[in-house]
Each structure stands twice: as C-alpha cells, then as structure tokens.
Amino acid sequence: MSLSTTSSSFPAGKNSVATSTVSAEHAAQQLADFIRRHPRLTVLTGAGVSTDSGIPDYRDRNGQWKRKPPVDHRDFMASAATRQRYWGRALIGWPVIRNSAPNPAHFHLAELERRGHIDLLITQNVDRLHQRAGSARVIDLHGRADEIRCMACDYREMRQPVHDRSYDLNPGFRHYTAETAPDGDADLEVDFSDFQVADCPDCAGILKPDVVFFGDNVPRERVQLSMDSLQQSDGLLVVGSSLMVYSGFRFCRTAKEWGKPMAALNLGRTRADDLIDLKLNAGIGETLERTLQLL
C-alpha cells in the first residue's frame, strides 16, 4: 500500500461538468440505505461541509479553482516577503475562521458518530468545527488553523495572541478591509514591504499556522491512522469534498483497491466520480438531516 503524503493537487478535466442535483429526500433515501448496508464507516470531509458556516472554499462545482491557489509552503519558508503578505492578509481573514460556528452538517455528522455509524472522521478542513459540534473521533488531516508553531524550535501557542502582537507591530493595518478568502486569507492588495512579522518569542524563528500548506506533506502518522480505520470499516463516505487534492483522493483510490464500498455526498463533480459506487449531488445539511430521520 502506498502512503505517499504529498498534498499537491491537479486540475479537473477540461470537459468536466457538474452532474444534475437531486432532492435531499431522494439522496437521503439512498444514503440511508448505503449506511444500513455498511453501518461502520470511515468519513472524509472537505470544504463543502463548512461553507454554510461562512468559510469560503477554493473550488466551484466543476472542481475548478475559483481563485489563485493558497500560499505555497516552500515560498512561505523561503521568502520574507511571502510571510509579510501572508500575515498581513491573515489579520483580516483569520477572524472569519475564529468566529465561525458549526452548522447543521457538522452536528448531523456528530450524531451519526454517536449512533455508531462513524468509526473515524477524517477532515481536510482546518477549522475544528467538527470537534466543536461534538465529533470525538476526528483526524485533522491538514492540521488546525487555531494553533501556531515555530518551524525552528517547535514552540507552540494559540493563534490569536500572534495576531494581537501583529496588530501591535503594525497598527496601520487595523483599518484595512477586504473580501475574505479560504483558510484565513483575504483579498488585500497593499504594500506589505514594511509589515513587521511576529517571530517566535523563544528563538526568533519562523512562526507558521500548524496546517499543511499547499505543496507541504501530510504527516505520515495521520495517513497511517486513517488508512487503518478505512481498512477496518465497512466503507467510505465522502462529504463535501471535490477530492481534487491528492491527500483526500488517496483514500478513494485505496478503498477501490481494497474493494470497499464508497459513497459521496457533494454538490458538484469529484475527482473520484469514476471510482465511487454512489454519487449524491445534493445539499449536504438537508440530506444528512433526512438521512438521520430514516435510520
């Protein structure tokens, strides 16, 4: 079994189009039947679960980029200018994640776990909303946005104090506003050359959110734990992910190799449409709510 951990992605097919949506009632009937036949599931979630919490996503219903890809890990580590731009924009973008709250989809998935239908929930999101909704068995595949670590000495702290220090170092940035973007980013285009980045208070090293940036690697132990769960479960359910990023798609590919049944609840195309057994192009929160009523 391959355990490649790259988080790189590749584009949707040029001729791809999103399939027609179906009603939540129809989708719920099919999903409830899938769960009855495969009652102990590994669940993989993506950005589509959190959009109703006001957190933007990167891709449209065809799996195409809505905007430029996120900051690249290598650029962040190598370029002071990239870090200035990242932290300057994050002063606007981070509060969207900080102030977000779980939406019904998060609570419905937590209820599925409580009823014994979810062995493990693997999320590509970094917002921790699954945990706040009550899910207990969660792997944050791409890390968590609310914690900061030093890339030199591994000093760690919660994120908000770092932003507080950034505001103290850059009081002129308090008045800026911009449209927010995914992962705590914002569409702010100003001169960042004088922005002072808050460095590690212990060693003056580079501080970075404890998340897997684009081009970085998912820690192998997270992948292994996820694969172990998938191997022991009755099937895989994908919720709210286009699976265009390989770090998520790998689970569908492996499930196919192992003969595990797969279902996907997602508004729009996924990269695994040719692999999955049941594709449900329907509203996530509504479908999960009706599914619980049928189980």
Q: Which pair of structure tokens corresponds to residue 230?
A: 């998938």
Q: Note the pLDDT tens digit of each residue in 100-150.
A: 999 999 999 999 999 999 999 999 999 999 999 999 999 999 999 999 999
| C-alpha triplet 192, 100, 5: angle, nearest 5° | 70
Q: What is the largest CA-CA distance in the chain?
A: 59
How distant is the alpha carbon of residue 103 from its chain centre?
15
Indicate left, alpha or beta for 178 from its phi (over 0: left) and psi (-120 to 50: alpha).
Answer: beta
| Structural domains of the chain, with CATH | 1-55+102-142+217-295 (3.40.50.1220), 66-99+145-211 (3.30.1600)
Q: Note the pLDDT tens digit of each residue in 45-56.
A: 999 999 999 987
Angstrom CA distances, 229 to 17, 40, 261, 276, stand at 32, 10, 14, 18
Q: Note the pLDDT tens digit of each residue in 258-283.
A: 999 999 999 988 999 999 999 999 99
Q: Note the pLDDT tens digit of each residue in 196-214.
A: 999 999 999 999 999 999 8
**CB of 219 closer than 8 Å to CB of 4:** no
**CB of 105 closer than 8 Å to CB of 290:** no
Asked if the model's pLDDT at residue 3 lies above 50, the reply is: no
Please name the helix (run of DSSP H) or strand (run of DSSP E) that holds residue 239, with its range, or none: strand 235-239
User: What are the residue numbers of the active site?
Assistant: 142
The percentage of residues in the chain with a pLDDT greater than 90, rounded to a whole number, is 78
**CB of 239 closer than 8 Å to CB of 47:** no
Q: Note the pLDDT tens digit of each residue in 74-90.
A: 999 999 999 999 999 99
Mean pLDDT of 212-234: 95
pLDDT confidence band for 19 (50 / 70 / 90): low
